[in-house]
Structure 1
Amino acid sequence: MKQKYEFDVLVIGGGHAGIEAAHAAAKMGSKTLLITLHLDTIGMMSCNPSIGGIGKGHIVYEISALGGLMPKLCTQTYLQARMLNTRKGPAVQGLRLQIDKYAYNRLSKQMLEQLQNLSLRMGMVEEILLDKNKKVCGVRLRDGTIYRAQTVVITTGTFLRGQIHIGMANYQAGRQGEEASVHLSSWLQQVGIKIGRLKTGTPPRLLRSSIDFSKLTYQEPDELSYLFEFSPHKVINTHPCYIAYTNQKTHEIIRKNRHLSALFNGSITSIGPRYCPSIEDKINRFPDKGKHHIFVEPESASSEEIYPNGLSTSLPYEVQLKYIRSIKGFENAIITRSGYAVEYDFVYPQQLSPTLELKEIEGLFLAGQINGTTGYEEAAGQGLVAGINAHLKHANKEPFILDRTESYIGIMIDDLISLGVDEPYRMFTSRAEYRLTLRQDNAFSRLMPKGYKLGLIDNHLYEVFCKDQKKIGQTFVQLRATCSKKELLELFAESTYDKEQIFKRTGKVLSSRVLRTIQAEIIYEPYLKREERDIKRVKQYKMLSLSQTLNYFGMSGLSCELQEKLMRYKPANIAQAALIPGMTPAAISLLIFKIQERIRHTL
């Protein structure tokens, strides 16, 4: 008879979603167990060793504001920092860090091991145990061990019936060299959960000493005074990145051997990430393009392997080597690991509630790639929400739900559970209706009070945050008292601002992040007021019903495209209409006006 072990929250999987789920639940006070196939691969970066970027960086800032672990890990393991999209306004810029993947992996495990209320266990979960009311009551491992808990979070990444493809060869694995999880996927199907298949991929890794960096373009890092955490940090860029380019010879090699790619020979039937296609897919989709960027990035300070970002592939090793060596600077490149594609099972996310709990199975939460997303940041954001809600469920407390009007994490979850996915979901700033309101620089003012209330932000940090907010408020008052609107706009024009002039007018030494917040609030002021009105209107009318027989064709003020989409999707209410791709806040306001007008005419 196997012994049964009691916990409050069980987390399955030690990837980026699992880390955040386990960390949040344990920090909030739940006796938590994280079960993973290999303890030494906790926090491993299977693909690109970087965190952040446009849209994705916003999520990491929000994780930071809510007390998550990813930003802390980034601060201690980054190799290079860059602020992307700086030619545009602060609302759509994105901090991106090149990460030391092995340091990140080691530190993830160490920080979890040191966390009170959290235990780690190596093992393969094959079944979620349910009581007679179809409520979660534990899990069973392959060795027969049973762990009891009322809440379980599944964060299995690409391991659910994972299948790796390299050319004509394929085999079961969740990651190269690691076995797939087959029984858990079968269990989900047996209990009636709708499952699909998705695909992702990774490029070959190259030996640093075999690359001629003198033939590549050096990529300038940025001198920054902060990263994803609230506290300032003087950035030291230690490892450079470079840019290489494919050429016509590269493209010809790939075209001649395309039939050997698993993507084109029929081995792969599932859909991969639209915005991160394999190199053979790029050559096929853009035949007229003469070259493609390759970002040549270090994987670790303790490794000689290089990540050629942009060369994801499922072509055979021999073809990979041939096209790699056709690239300037890579003529003598040595491949240390082949690129490959991996197919895996996912759960259609419309089956989830906003807490990321399955509607049909009480106490079972899902986070990360199992929900159809792609990316470490998207996974971590979901893991944080799932872990928080798993704890709250166990503690019989009100759930934690983020609205799409207040966070990118809220947008992501709302998109997933409302629209579902037919390809791996990736975050972009374009998914946000109110992106001027949801910026990187104000993530702390938006969400840190929530993190503090949950118990994930400590007293000292929250006190510093409150003082910071007070300083921002006082600075606004002083600037508006001493400057005209025109002078304010000139003072904070473009992406630069005169720190000396600001100090003269306020008498305050302000951090770069505070100055960026003040700049954004000033240059976006009229638009922020408009967004605030739109948000209030949508919240007020989001449940306003839309008749299924309503004819949108000919509705004045709506574009033909939106008229067609409204007729196709037939939204039941304003909230659903707002999720239709291409639907703008202005169009929603017009729709509300038109519906109210029709209601008045029927009275």
Structure 2
Amino acid sequence: MFSDIYDVIVVGGGHAGVEAASASSNMGSKTLLITTNLQTIGQMSCNPAIGGIAKGQMIREIDALGGYSGIIADHSTIQFRMLNKSKGPAMWSPRAQCDRKLFSYYWRLFLEKNTQLDLYQDTVISLIMKKHKIQGVKTSFGVKIKGKAVVLTNGTFLNGKIHIGKNKINGGRIAEQEVRGITEQLTENFGFRFGRMKTGTSPRVDGRSLNYEKMKSQNGDEEPKKFSFFWNTNKLEKQKKCYITYTNQKVHDFIRHHFNFSPSYTGSIQGVSPRYCPSIEEKVFRFSDKKEHTIFVEPEGWDTVEVYVNGFSTSFPEEIQYKSLKKISGFENVKILKPGYAIEYDYFPPEQLKPTLESKIIENLFFAGQINGTTGYEEAAAQGLIAGINVHLKIHNKEPLILKRNQSYIGVLIDDLITKGTKEPYRMFTSRAEYRMLLRQDNADERLTPIGYNIGLISEKKMVLLNKKKSKIKKCMYLFQNKNFDPTTINPILCAKKSPKILHNQKIENILSRSEIDLQDIISIPFLMQEIKKNDFSKEILEQVSIRIKYKGYIDREEKNAKKLLKLENLKIPNNFDYKSIQSLSSEAREKLDYYRPISLAQASRISGISPSDLSILLIHMNR
């Protein structure tokens, strides 16, 4: 039934699990993905959307490295929007509303095409280990499966408990059983620390029962883009509408009157909830001065009446959910298809992991996704990809892949987790990245595709496409830096934009660098339009060049700072470094450095409580 021994066993079929299994198998490892329900592979358990602020950047990075989440999203998109277009390009974030069923369908389809990957439906209840090294897994049916390495991507299933009002149901997702045994084994037998976290989801309602005329229509982009840089998916010709409505004082008063019916306030839930995605009860309590909260009304797919009520996550009893919703404009006749609920589950503080996402305690055991204390499909998928890559590299005795903070949002995510840990569900934001001007969504392929190619996840064909793009950008940059506008041609445009006129010829680059001048202002000038057509410069190429010219000062400054950081990153600390013997270090520094075991001086500098003087002392002893 099974291989004699698998290279990699991935436990869990959520967003982290499918990326991990895809990566390891595509790199050549014989992989088994084992999950409790094969019908829910890649399922969107919460809202039916991929991307968003900082999250869209991560999906593009996953695609650039050779992962599948962006491709799957492109296949199932029903609406695409580029968020934050009114701000600078560092903030532009792609987001796709997806067809929930199609998203899961395409994940299953892509996995089944992989001959290096086996799928199996069962529940892993314990790990098989020998002398702190993984040997395989044991399932609820008593099946023992041998494996050289294991990736745990259990999501919300470890001792999961669902709350709807006073009702408590053991489960990892509604109507799906929880997983028991793994937490107990790791904590009691191997000394792992664990905690409890809480997340929640919103009710699903019948779209036919809503009055959309009372809501604000939210359309997709007129020229929708895609997540995947290389996959030739069809252009999105039609899009579904989303809608926006708002809570009001009547809703808030009703919720306040029923706080004691919410398990979040009765003490039933012990887990820590997400700070940045609170339930409607928590919003009303924490932001008591706000008169309204935004509700996003999101269709679940092309051919379904089911609608997701984004912004109304709740664990109230169903009757209170229903009465609360009815007080929202457009929801007066609402029919609930599925109630919202809260779920609490076990997680393992991620500072117990190496930068590769391998456990520090058990060799060849990797963790990815919500089990590490994160929240969100994108954060999970990013970790799954990196775990899948590194588990393959580890068992084949190759150098690990550790992305730096100046290389990717994925690098920021993992570095934050392993050096700072998290006591609440971690969510990625652009503000977490020091080098966000370098880490734009539009250049993820230039940053990461060569890395994906070197490790075997990116094909030669895709590298050729990337090199053609880079060549076009270079050629277009040369044009803009060397061709001139004469006063007669450009001054009418400058006057119209209230920009100072020129007296002599000036380079296109100099004109475009003015804050009040947009790319669209100049590309209609005949000679430039002719050059663009002759060289076949696409809108993407022109946008890339425009960003580099307009934000050159910011980009140069971040690149300079990144080079300084790189010097510290290159100062590697030996694995067996004896921190406890350095008495000149503060006691807090000795304790934390010994616990976190940073791999470089740069990583040590990001550990809370490590001072500049501690780093200086550490550097002196490293030189010795």
TM value normalised by structure 2: 0.87
In the alignment, is the contact (CA less than 8 A) between 2:159 and 2:346 conserved in 1? yes
Distance 1:15 1:174, change over 3 A: same
CA distance in 2, matches of 1:490, 1:340: 51
**Percentage of identical aligned residues:** 44
Confirm or deny that 1:530 pairs with 2:557.
Answer: yes
Measure the CA separation in 2 of the matches of 1:358 and 1:382: 14
**Counterpart of 1:70?**
69
Greater alpha carbon shift after TM alignment, 109-118 vs 31-40 = 109-118
Q: Give the whole-Å Cα distance in 1 for the aligned partners of 2:74 and 2:169.
A: 37
Aligned AA for 1:509? D
Q: CA deviation at 1:496?
A: 5.0
Matched letter for residue 67 of structure 1: G
Q: Distance in 1 between matches of 2:516 and 2:67?
A: 32
In the alignment, residue 129 of structure 1 is paired with which amino acid? I
Worse overlay, 389-398 or 489-498 = 489-498
CA shift, 1:445, in A, is 0.3
User: What is the identity, as a one-letter code, of the residue corresponding to 1:423?
Assistant: E
Which residue does the alignment assign to 1:565?
A: none
**Aligned counterpart, 1:165:** 163
| Correspondence list, 1:309-328, <5 A | 309-328=310-329
Once the 2 structures are TM-superposed, how far is the Cα of residue 237 of structure 1 from its aligned partner?
4.0
1:340 aligned residue: 341
Check the 8 A contact 1:482/1:505 in 2, yes or no: no
Aligned partners of 1:246 and 1:294 also within 8 Å: yes
What amino acid sits opposite 2:353 in the alignment?
Answer: L
Report the CA distance shift for 1:296/1:50 in structure 2 as closer, same or farther (over 3 A). Answer: same
Report the CA distance between 1:394 and its aligned residue: 1.7
How many residue pairs match? The answer is 569
2:334 and 2:38 mapped to 1: Cα distance?
Answer: 32
Alignment match, 1:512: 539
| 2:490 counterpart residue number | none
Cα offset for 1:528?
1.4
Question: For each residue in 1:260-314, what CA deviation from the matched residue of structure 2 results, as whole angstroms up to 9, or x when unmatched?
Answer: 1010010012211111000010000111111110000001223211101000001
Does 2:511 correspond to 1:487? yes
Q: Which residue of 1 aligns with 2:80?
A: 81
Question: Contact (CA 8 Å) 2:151, 2:367: kept in 1 or not?
Answer: yes
1:541 to partner: Cα distance? 3.4
State the distance in 2 between where 1:526 and 1:416 align: 31
Counterpart for residue 427 of structure 1: 428
Q: In the superposition, relative to structure 1, how do residues 580 and 442 fare at CA in structure 2: closer, same or farther (>3 Å)?
A: farther
Structure 2: give runs of 5+ residues left out of the alignment. 485-506, 574-581, 588-595
Per the alignment, do residues 65 and 524 of structure 1 end up closer, same or farther by CA in structure 2, a change over 3 Å counting?
same
Counterpart of 1:414 in structure 2 is: 415
Determine whether 1:13 maps to 2:9. Answer: no
Aligned amino acid, residue 70 of structure 2: P
Corresponding position of 1:391:
392
Whether the 8 Å contact between 2:150 and 2:365 is mirrored in structure 1 is yes
Q: Distance in 2 between matches of 1:241 and 1:499?
A: 33
Aligned counterpart, 1:125 = 124
**Residues 580 and 535 from structure 1, CA distance in 2 versus in 1: closer, same or farther, beyond 3 angstroms?**
farther
CA distance in 1, matches of 2:303, 2:280: 28
Q: Does the 8 Å CA contact 1:403/1:410 hold for their aligned counterparts?
A: yes
- The residue aligned with 1:564 is none
Asked if 1 retains the 8 angstrom alpha-carbon contact of 2:10 and 2:151, the reply is yes
Query: Does structure 1 conserve the Cα–Cα contact (< 8 Å) formed by 2:23 and 2:388?
Result: yes
Shift, 1:318, TM fit: 0.7
Moved segments of 4+, more than 6 Å: 544-547
CA contact (8 A) 2:476 2:537 kept: no
Tell me by how many angstroms 1:223 deviates: 2.2
**CA 165–87 in structure 1, closer or farther in 2 if over 3 Å, else same:** same
Aligned equivalent of 1:297: 298
Tell me how far apart the structure 2 counterparts of residues 252 and 33 of structure 1 sit (CA, whole Å). Answer: 51
1:23 deviates by 0.4
1:164-205, Cα deviation, whole Å (9 max, x unpaired) = 001111111000000000112212212211111100000111
Q: Which residue of 2 aligns with 1:151?
A: 149
Cα drift, residue 477 of structure 1: 1.4
Q: Which amino acid aligns with 1:203?
A: S
Distance 2:518 2:259 in 1: 46
> How many Å separate the matches in 2 of 1:73 and 1:527?
34
Shift of the 262–96 alpha-carbon distance from structure 1 to 2, 3 Å rule, reads same
Q: Which residue of 2 aligns with 1:561?
A: none
Does the 8 A contact of 1:174 with 1:181 survive in 2? yes
User: How far apart in 2 are the matches of 1:324 and 1:212?
Assistant: 13
C-alpha root-mean-square deviation of aligned residues, in Å? 2.6
Q: Secondary structure at the match of 1:441?
A: helix
The equivalent of 2:466 in structure 1 is 465
**Structure 1 residues 494 and 500: alpha-carbon distance in aligned structure 2, compared to 1, 3 A threshold:** closer
Q: Deviations over 1:371-422 (max 9, x none)?
A: 0000000000000000011111121211111111101000000000000001
In the alignment, what sits opposite 2:286? 285
Selected match of 1:176 from 174, 177, 181:
174
The secondary structure found in structure 2 opposite 1:536 is helix
Structure 1 residues 50 and 532: CA distance shift in structure 2, 3 A? same
CA spacing shift, 1:497–1:449, aligned 2, 3 Å? farther
Structure 2 counterpart of 1:266: 267
3-state SS of paired residue (1:319): helix
The amino acid across from 1:77 in the alignment is S
Is 1:249 matched up with 2:250?
yes
Q: What code does the residue aligned with 1:235 have?
A: L
Q: Specify the alignment match of 1:61 in structure 2.
A: 60
What's the counterpart of residue 539 of structure 1?
Answer: 566
Alignment gaps of 5+ in structure 1:
551-568
Instruction: Write the distance in 2 (CA, Å) between the matches of 1:477 and 1:147.
Output: 58
Corresponding position of 1:200:
199
Paired position in structure 2 for 1:218: 217
Residue 497 to residue 425, structure 1, CA distance change in 2 (3 Å) = farther
- For residues 138 and 455 of structure 2, what CA distance do their matches in structure 1 show? 31
